[in-house]
Structure 1
Amino acid sequence: PLPPLPNLELSEDCAVKASDLARFYINSVLAVARDITTKKDVKLLLK
């Protein structure tokens, strides 16, 4: 049998940092998508 797993906990500070990083990347992708759709720039789409 496998040994028991230890209790794993994620600190609030670590969760906040991870969510901030995810928010940054999501906002960057959305900004690029907005630029592509509003400017109709195919070169940006192919980058």
Structure 2
Amino acid sequence: MTKVKAIELAAFFAEFEQKMIKKNRFKIAHFSNKQMIKCCHVYLEMKGVKA
């Protein structure tokens, strides 16, 4: 996964999470949140940032 792709996926999951919260679909929103965090983690690993 490239850095750009990781950021694009994180942004997509963040937007999707907000849409699901508005529709009161909290389990799907929580899943999207976890996926967003995973993509951000991949991006940071690729940049060489240590957590």
Q: TM-score, normalised by structure 1?
A: 0.51
Q: Quote the residue 2:43 is aligned against.
A: 29
Please tell me the residue identity of whatever aligns with 1:24: K
Please tell me the residue identity of whatever aligns with 1:32: M
Please tell me the residue identity of whatever aligns with 1:27: H
1:18 aligns with 2:44: no
Unaligned runs of 5+ in 2: 1-21
Please tell me the residue identity of whatever aligns with 2:30: V
Q: Which has the higher contact order (CA 8 A, sep 6+)?
A: 2
What fraction of aligned residue pairs are identical, expressed as a percent? 7
Query: What secondary structure, in the 3-state scheme, does the structure 2 residue paired with 1:21 have?
Result: helix
Aligned length: 28
Aligned Cα RMSD in Å?
1.8
Unaligned runs of 5+ in 1: 1-7, 36-47
Q: TM-score, normalised by structure 2?
A: 0.47
Provide the C-alpha distance between the structure 1 equivalents of 2:32 and 2:24, rounded to a whole number of angstroms.
11
Task: Select the structure of larger CA radius of gyration.
Answer: 1
After TM superposition, which residue ranges in structure 1, 4 or more long, deviate above 6 angstroms? none
